[in-house]
Structures are given as C-alpha cells and as structure tokens.
Amino acid sequence: MKNKFAFAFQGIVTGLRHRSIIIQFLLGFLAILAGFALQLTSGEWIAVVLAIVMVIAAEMLNTCIELLCDMYTREYNEMIKAIKDIAAGAVLVISLGALVTAMIILFRHFGG
C-alpha cells in the first residue's frame, strides 16, 4: 500500500514537469488566495476546492493521453488527433464549469 501512494505522489511530481499542469496548479493557488480574500463560506470553499481538483485532475489525465498518443506515433494520424481533441475538450468542459462556479461565487460577493 505504501508503494502505491509513493507512486501516486511521484506521478504528481512528474506531472509538474509539464507546463499545462503547472499552470493549472498556479491558477488553483490563486483561486485559493482569492477565496481567503473574499472570506468564502464553507459551501463556497467546497465548490472552489472541487473545481480546482477536477481541473487539475483533468489536465493530468489529458497530459497522460497526449503522452500515450505521442508514444504511439509522432506522425499525423486522424485518430490520434481525434483522441487528443476529445481529451482537450474534456478539460475545457471542466474548466468552463469551474469558471461558472467562480462567477456565481463572485456575483454573490460583488453583485448582490
């Protein structure tokens, strides 16, 4: 069991070698700082943390899919393009959900 956690933590460290994952971690950190500044309620914190975790996890999975596809071939392949586009689309869907969550919270604090 201990090794499984070690491998999982190593996966996070390895993921942090990829710019897109680093960016998501930084944006998540900024969202947390904004949450403290806005003095979020516990319910708002749950929504923010879930949104951050989902976006980072999706980006990590997307990066895995891209690496697997690149390992298969670096040449243009219509199926590989579709796989990468769908994975990137999943990240976009989750990111848009996180953005809507942020807008709802920000509206409560600034809009009424």
3-state secondary structure at position 69: helix
- Share above pLDDT 70 across residues of the chain, in percent, rounded to a whole number: 98
Q: Is residue 2 very low, low, confident or very high in pLDDT (cuts 50, 70, 90)?
A: confident
Which pair of tokens denotes residue 94? 């989750």
Tell me the per-residue pLDDT of 36-81, one tens digit each, with 9 for 90 and over. Answer: 999 999 999 999 999 999 999 999 999 999 999 999 999 999 999 9
Q: What is the mean pLDDT of the chain?
A: 96
Question: Contact 91/65 with Cβ under 8 angstroms?
Answer: no
| C-beta neighbour count of 74 within 10 angstroms | 9
pTM confidence score: 0.93
In whole angstroms, what is the distance from residue 63 CA to residue 50 CA?
A: 20
pLDDT of residue 80: 97
First to last CA, the chain: 49
pLDDT of residue 51: 98
pLDDT of residue 111: 82
pLDDT of residue 112: 67
Asked whether the predicted pLDDT for residue 12 surpasses 80, the reply is: yes
In whole angstroms, what is the distance from residue 85 CA to residue 91 CA?
A: 10
Question: Contact 85/50 with Cβ under 8 angstroms?
Answer: no
In whole angstroms, what is the distance from residue 58 CA to residue 21 CA?
A: 9
Which pair of tokens denotes residue 41? 């309620």
